[in-house]
Amino acid sequence: MKTLEKDRSRRYDTANGLAADILRHLNNEPVMACPPSRVYRLRKMVRRNKLAFAAGGAVAVSLVIGLTLSTVLFFRERAACKQANEAAAIAQATSDFLTIDVLGNADTSLQAQSGFTPVPNLTVREALDRAAERIGDRFKNQPLYEASVRFQIGGSLARAGEPERGIAHLQRALDLFRAKLGPNHPNTLLTMDSLADPYQSASKFNQALPLFEETLNRQKAKLGPTNYYTVNTMGNLARCYRFAGKLDQALPLSEETLKLRQAILGPNDRETLLAMCDLADTYRRAGKLDQALPLHEEALKLTKTKLGPYDEETLRMMGNLVITYKQAGKLDQALPLAEETLKLMKAKLGPDHPETLLSMLNLALNYKQTGKLDQALPLFRAAAEKDGVEALNHFAWLLATCSDSALRDGRSAVGYAEKAVAKTQRKDPGILETLAAAYAEAGEFVKAANVQREAISLIQDEKAKNDLTPRLKLYESKTPFRE
């Protein structure tokens, strides 16, 4: 049949080819002549029916692609469903823990059942401490549950004015999230940002700034530069730069944060108003009072309208505007606003809250600047007794340098200043300067001169160094400084 094939390529090329095949047949060897293969027949069929096979092939490809996508989407949906169920379970466990183990401890019988000494008037902070002791047992081998609970407790302690105690919980939460979810997961990044905040509150800028910076870089890469959480961290970093005295880095970042918040959230959103206040405070610290004052006033006006006169953010803005008025020399506006702010802070937050104590200090400073030392002194003392760094520093400075000899008390000034220095780990030149003045008032001039030199050594700016040198010469000549 090979000699009669219609397809030329399947016929013998020459007569010698036919003769060779006959010889192979006679010798019982395999011959070239054979029926067409399945592949050959299929290829011929495709050639005869090109349109039909093209359409069928397209359908087959579509089916394969569709089946692949369906399979991928199915597994994605199942994974998303699993993640949603896990997130719901973690949220419920966290809620149950905070409700039962924290708030439930208000019941003395439950306190006893949990192995604690019953305390009828248990504070929220005490309840948080007791609940924290049981986290490890409650969520053994459940790292995400433990991380979520520690995140909530750490944040609550930090917001309640206990940043140092909140740090340990937030660090543990960060370690757990990072190990389980990876360094770029939104929960990890949110916890990293939250951990930086109490470090900042404790004036530990060397720990806070790298955390904020790393968080922002990772969020920009993972979530995008205009994502809500990215912009939020940007604002937090700008604020930390400001508190750390890095105004050249704080100012452009604060301006960028406000622009993004206005574009993304609108001009009257709560976060936009906070960004306005932050930028105004940065302008003030940079000495740009012509930009700071109108922005502060506008921010406070909009915040009172949006959030109400008793909202915590409204009260903080009032306090910031007091400082701006004072720095601008507008004491007639600063003093009544400071009095109103302290009154509202006490009513809203209580007399011992850090924000209330800061308002007390602001009012004391305004009384001092207007010559009302009899009103300033008890406020300074009350704020300093709560061991806040700024209050300790200001009160020590007043006791050491006041022009009124009846108010000066060198030994007490040394005690308060040493507390402030210990809290700032001898890294704040302004507080060291206060301690030097206190030593001089107490007659310890050698110590005064040594501490003044220490303060000068920490300052980078030459002009600022030169401003402190005259006081060093005073102490070397055994003369105390007077305001």
Burial class (CB in 10 A: 0-12, 13-18, 19+), 243: middle
pTM: 0.65
94: pLDDT strictly greater than 80: no
18: pLDDT strictly greater than 60: no
DSSP 36: P
pLDDT number for residue 142: 81
CA–CA separation, 290 and 166 (whole Å): 38
110: pLDDT strictly greater than 50: no
pLDDT digits (tens, 9 = 90+) for 430-454: 999 999 999 999 999 999 999 999 9
183: pLDDT strictly greater than 60: yes
CB 331 within 8 A of CB 370: yes
DSSP 102: I
329: pLDDT strictly greater than 70: yes
pLDDT number for residue 40: 47
255: pLDDT strictly greater than 50: yes
CB 362 within 8 A of CB 341: yes
The mean predicted confidence, pLDDT, of the chain is 80
Helix/strand number for the chain, H first, E second = 23, 0
Average pLDDT over residues 42-49: 54
Distances (CA, A) of 187 to 173, 235, 236: 10, 19, 17
Compute CA 453 distance to the chain's CA centroid, rounded to the nearest angstrom: 36
pLDDT number for residue 154: 84
pLDDT number for residue 145: 80
Tell me which architecture the domain covering 387-483 has in CATH.
Alpha Horseshoe (1.25)
pLDDT number for residue 165: 82
Average pLDDT over residues 155-176: 85
* More confident call, 130 vs 456: 456
pLDDT number for residue 108: 44
pLDDT number for residue 44: 52
Of 3-12, 80-89, 306-315, minimum mean pLDDT range: 3-12
Q: What confidence category does residue 201 fall into, taking pLDDT thresholds of 50, 70 and 90?
A: confident
CA angle 411, 416, 421 (to 5 degrees): 120
* More confident call, 362 vs 237: 237
Average pLDDT over residues 187-191: 92
pLDDT number for residue 357: 86
pLDDT digits (tens, 9 = 90+) for 379-422: 888 888 887 888 899 889 989 998 888 888 999 999 999 999 99
Q: What confidence category does residue 483 fall into, taking pLDDT thresholds of 50, 70 and 90?
A: confident
* More confident call, 75 vs 65: 65
Complete DSSP assignment for 348-363: HH-TTSHHHHHHHHHH
50: pLDDT strictly greater than 50: yes
Structural domain spans, the chain = 2-81, 387-483
CA–CA separation, 395 and 434 (whole Å): 10
Of 138-152, 211-225, 295-309, minimum mean pLDDT range: 138-152
